[in-house]
Each structure stands twice: as structure tokens, then as C-alpha cells.
A = this chain, B = another copy of it.
């Protein structure tokens, strides 16, 4: 059994436990769901139906793409259903002889208006849209990476680290001078190393703009790595999985305030890393770094970290929020990314990707504060 089949197998088991006859997944513009890639290999733009009798049917926009990438029992072009998800659900359920009256689960983020349409037009089945069901189980399973995913992450991290080293050299030698230089260097280097691209739009913010958490626009033709603090936040997408790192590039002279931002950020990073263990509450780690910053009357305007995978942000979330009940577990891959931002002095952030294993913590990437 390949890794796609064994993922589907766990979902079929869950469906059986919950008495679900069919599950629909949807990946479309504005409603991305990497579950389809995770379960079949198809990179996107498709519906996927799994049934209680362990069949997987893909309904892709692009049948040529599916021929190359998808591992499923059956493929039906979406055009045959007029590109309408309700029609596809009805048609597939009838074709597969899903018993009338049985329960079919649709995506948990389905809009209120679309759900009403499903209920109105699909009268032969009991259509469910809910949390705590099969879709939520897929998200939870995706947060714990399997062997194949960890293998991919080791390769992706190796490429990321190679590019970090090249970036440092090229910035030091002033071959890369502008935000655009740096961002396009990453794009080209990624593709030359068989990445699909970057996992999200690279953020390169020179000293004038680094105070923004997410500088806008993400990169411009302005100078990068001039005196002060510059931030470079990027990720590589390799076989669907994204890395996510942030370097801060520092060029003297620095103000005392800038030195303070840097040393606090480094202390927070070390503190967080020391607290990461199998079973720790994600919120507790985030609360500790918030407290450290708070003692110096600073506040971090974003979360401490987040899971990475087929999405750039996914479970677990390392947020200091009362509604965050998640625990870090072996097999999770996530970022630690403390940062501080000051409109007058600029910003700094240090972000690396962490793999938590049964035997401890592995820092996959080697992002750092680079002092020129």
C-alpha cells in the first residue's frame, strides 16, 4: 500500500466509525483544500469523493493533470457535471450506488448559502456540514506528518538552508542590493532546485519598511540591507510542502533600541525552543515569550508560530489565546518566529522550522540574524 492509500485508509476507517457513506472535498479558487493533494496527489482544482465502501473518485477541472498526478480509483472530468458541485455530488453518489438516505459530509467551511442549496437540491441523502467530523479528522491527521512527509521536509529544508547560505554570501558581497534582487534570487534558486516555487509571496523589507509585520507591497525596488534592520521572510514549496523562515539582516551602526529588539528576539527564540516538548500546550509556549517581551514593555503583534505543510499556515497554532487548546506532538512540523517591530527603529524576526520527534526537537532550518 502506498502512502496515499494508507492515508485514505485511515479516513475510510473514520467514516465507518461515524456512519458516513460519502465525503466530499473541494479545492477551488477562493476555497483551497490541500486534503485533495494529501489524499490523491492531485495538486488542486478538483472535487474528491470517498465512500464507505473504500472508493476514491476524483472530479478534476483538468483531466490531463489528473492523468499525471492523481492516484484514485476513478476520474470523472468536472465538465461532465457542468462544473457544479451539487450536480457532481448527486451524479457521483448515484453512479457509485451510495444507499439513499445515507449520510454525506460536505466541507466544514461550506457557506451558509451553499449549504442551504445542498439541502434543498440533494433530497435523497442526508447532507452534513459540521465540525468534529471527517473533515476535521483530516486536518488533525495532516498536522502529524507521516514518514513520506518528513522525508520531503528534510529535503525541502536542505534546499532552504543552501539558499540561506547563498543569500548571506550574495548580500555580504553586495551582488544582491534591492528587495527585488533578493526575492527574485530566491524564486530562481528554488526552481533550479526542483521546487514548485515559493510557498507564499516572499517578504523582503529594507530598514525603512521592516517595522511592518507584513510590509506592503511584499517587495519593491527599494534598497535591502542598508544600515539598520532588514527582514527577509520566505518559504520554498517542494513536492507541495512549504518551508517558512525569516532572516533579519543587520548593518551597523545600530541604535541601542535596535540592539535591544535583537537581543530580546533572540532570547525569546531560545526560550521557546527550550520549552518545545511532546505534549506541551502550544498556548503555554506562546504565553512564555509574550511574558518575556512584556517584562521589557514590548509586545509581539503576531503569534509565536504555526504548523506548516501543504498549507503555509495550518495546525498546530502557537497562539497565546484562551481558545487555543492544542498540544505539540511528535510528528508535528511548525515554525517558531518571535519578532518585535518599532515604527522608528525597524523590525526584526527570527523564524525556523521545527520537527518534533519522539526523541526530541530537531531544528530543520538554519535561518539566523546576519550581522554585516
A137 in the interface (beta carbon within 8 A): no
Interface residues on chain A, size class:
35 or more
Chain A facing B: main interface SS: loop
Chain B residues within 8 Å of A115, by CB: 112
The verdict on A99 contacting chain B, using a C-beta distance below 8 Å, is no
Contact at A62–B131, with CB atoms within 8 Å? no
Q: Which residues of B contact A108 (CB under 8 A)?
A: 111, 113
Return the contact of A180 from the options B61, B192, B343 (Cβ within 8 A). Answer: B192
A227 beta carbon closer than 8 Å to chain B: no
When C-beta atoms are compared, the residue in chain B nearest to A83 turns out to be: B321
A213 at the A/B interface (Cβ < 8 Å)? yes
Q: Which segment, of A49-57, A215-223, A270-278, faces chain B? A: A215-223
- For residue A173, give the distance in angstroms from its CB to the closest CB of chain B: 20
Min Cβ gap A324→B in Å is 11
Contacts of A220 in B (CB 8 A): 191
0 or 1 for each of A69-95: is its CB under 8 Å from B? (1 = yes): 100000000010011000000000000
A21 to B177: give the CA distance in the assembly, Å: 51
State whether the Cβ of A166 lies closer than 8 Å to any Cβ in chain B: no
Nearest chain B residue, comparing its CB with the CB of A299: B79
User: A370: CB under 8 A from chain B?
Assistant: no
In the complex, chain B residues whose CB is within 8 Å of the CB of A65: 212, 214, 216
Closest-by-CB residue of B relative to A213 is B62
Q: Does the CB pair B111–A79 fall under 8 Å? A: no
Q: Give chain B nearest CB distance to A333 CB in angstroms.
A: 19
Partner of A111, one of B61, B109, B211: B109
Q: Does A147 contact B (CB under 8 A)?
A: no
Instruction: State A91–B64 Cα separation when bound (angstroms).
Output: 51
What are the residues of chain B within 8 A of A191 when measuring CB–CB?
180, 217, 219-221
Q: Which residues of B contact A207 (CB under 8 A)?
A: none
What are the 4 closest A-B residue pairs judged by CB atoms, nearest first? A196-B217, A112-B115, A112-B112, A180-B191
